[in-house]
């Protein structure tokens, strides 16, 4: 096997796509060729970097709502102006305007329907909490990229919790005040799927940990793969480079998301659950 042939097979080999014979021939080549072995190691590290560290951009919730509305109406919302296109011809603008007018009525109807469709979509796509984990990670990413992520800077839990009064139609139950390991940075109002959520932001060293608290009813909570952690049963998952813990207590649901180690996140869950 030549170096050129070997290098063409490296990615397939790491993905287990080679026959046993081909794999053996490649292994033999790599054992005797330092340059190809280096190439294999470097490409494997590149793969790890891409899969584990390349930022994943989640679609804004407003965009998702518009998309759901367009499909539920059975007609497209007006297509946005062409992406970075130079000035459109006037006929195209006229056609665009006509499409916009045609879409107004279905879009208004969609605005009513979307409130029902979005949760329905998430219930159907839920498959054991996967949709809930995705949303929790997306909310965490939105918070990380927001210019002003906190509505209330922390002066302690007794300052943050009262701030939510009158801003939510439920009382978020969080008694953990933060400590030296997990200082409470502050809070904000957010959205989790189709409902408002109280967002608490903790730090773990330089990492941000987001705690979402929201009404639990009507969501596709996972029933399998639950772990007993202190007084709660929780689902602990890793998704897109983030660890996520979902659990419910009474009428409230909780989602804890961060890129900190699983053990760190479990330690915070222990403090939150022990305080409730």
Partner 1 sequence: MESERADAAALGREALAYADTLYNLARYLTRSPTDAEDLVQETYARALSAAHQFTPGTNLKAWLFRILRNTFLSHHRHERHNPTVGGLDTVVAVAPSPESARWLRGDVELDRLRKVVGEEIERALESLSEEARTVILLDLEGLTEVEVAQVVGCAVGTVKSRLARARAALREKLRDYAP
CB-CB contact of 251 with 168 (8 Å): no
Stretch that binds partner 1, among 44-52, 146-154, 248-256, 262-270 (CB under 8 A): 44-52
Stretch that binds partner 1, among 52-60, 149-157, 181-189, 205-213 (CB under 8 A): 52-60
- Tell me the β-bridge partners of 212: 199, 255
Task: By CB under 8 A, name the one of 56, 102, 116, 275 that touches partner 1.
Answer: 56
- Tell me the β-bridge partners of 244: 237, 257
Task: By CB under 8 A, name the one of 31, 49, 88, 104 that touches partner 1.
Answer: 49
Q: How far is CA 93 from CA 2, 67, 84, 86, in A?
A: 58, 22, 15, 12
Taking CB under 8 A as the rule, does residue 208 contact partner 1?
no
Task: By CB under 8 A, name the one of 5, 28, 79, 153 that touches partner 1.
Answer: 79
CB 158, min distance to partner 1, A: 36
Taking CB under 8 A as the rule, does residue 42 contact partner 1?
yes
Taking CB under 8 A as the rule, does residue 45 contact partner 1?
yes
Taking CB under 8 A as the rule, does residue 143 contact partner 1?
no
DSSP 3-state assignment of 198?
Answer: strand
d(CA 199, CA 138): 13
Task: By CB under 8 A, name the one of 75, 151, 233, 249 that touches partner 1.
Answer: 75
CA dihedral 87, 89, 91, 96 (to 10 degrees): -20
Taking CB under 8 A as the rule, does residue 275 contact partner 1?
no
Contacts of 62 (CB under 8 A, 6+ apart): none
Taking CB under 8 A as the rule, does residue 116 contact partner 1?
no
**245 token code pair:** 């813990």
Taking CB under 8 A as the rule, does residue 120 contact partner 1?
yes
Taking CB under 8 A as the rule, does residue 38 contact partner 1?
yes
Taking CB under 8 A as the rule, does residue 37 contact partner 1?
no
Contacts with partner 1: how many residues (CB under 8 A)? 49
d(CA 246, CA 132): 8
């Amino acid at each position: 096997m030549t170096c050129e042939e070997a290098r063409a097979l490296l990615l397939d080999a790491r993905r287990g796509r080679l026959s046993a014979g081909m794999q053996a021939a490649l292994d033999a080549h790599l054992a005797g060729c330092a340059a190809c072995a280096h190439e294999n190691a470097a490409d494997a590290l590149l793969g790890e970097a891409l899969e584990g560290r390349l930022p994943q951009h989640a679609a804004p919730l407003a965009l998702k709502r518009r998309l759901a509305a367009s499909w539920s109406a059975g007609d497209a919302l007006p297509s946005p102006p062409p992406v970075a296109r130079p000035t459109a011809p006037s006929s195209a603008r006229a056609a665009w305007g006509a499409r916009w007018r045609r879409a107004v009525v279905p879009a208004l109807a969609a605005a009513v329907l979307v409130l029902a469709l979005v949760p329905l979509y998430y219930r159907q796509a839920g498959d054991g909490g996967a949709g809930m984990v995705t949303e929790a990670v997306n909310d965490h990413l939105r918070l990380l990229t927001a210019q002003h992520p906190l509505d209330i800077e922390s002066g302690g839990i007794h300052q943050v919790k009262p701030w939510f009064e009158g801003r939510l139609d439920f009382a978020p139950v969080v008694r953990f005040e933060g400590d030296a390991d997990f200082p409470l940075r502050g809070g904000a109002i957010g959205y989790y799927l189709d409902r408002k959520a109280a967002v608490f932001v903790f730090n773990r060293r330089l990492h941000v940990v987001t705690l979402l608290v929201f009404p639990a009813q009507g969501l596709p909570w996972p029933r399998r793969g639950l772990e007993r952690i202190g007084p709660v049963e929780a689902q602990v998952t890793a998704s897109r480079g983030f660890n996520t813990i979902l659990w419910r207590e009474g009428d409230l649901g909780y989602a804890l998301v961060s890129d900190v180690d699983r053990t760190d996140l479990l330690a915070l869950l222990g403090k939150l659950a022990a305080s409730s």
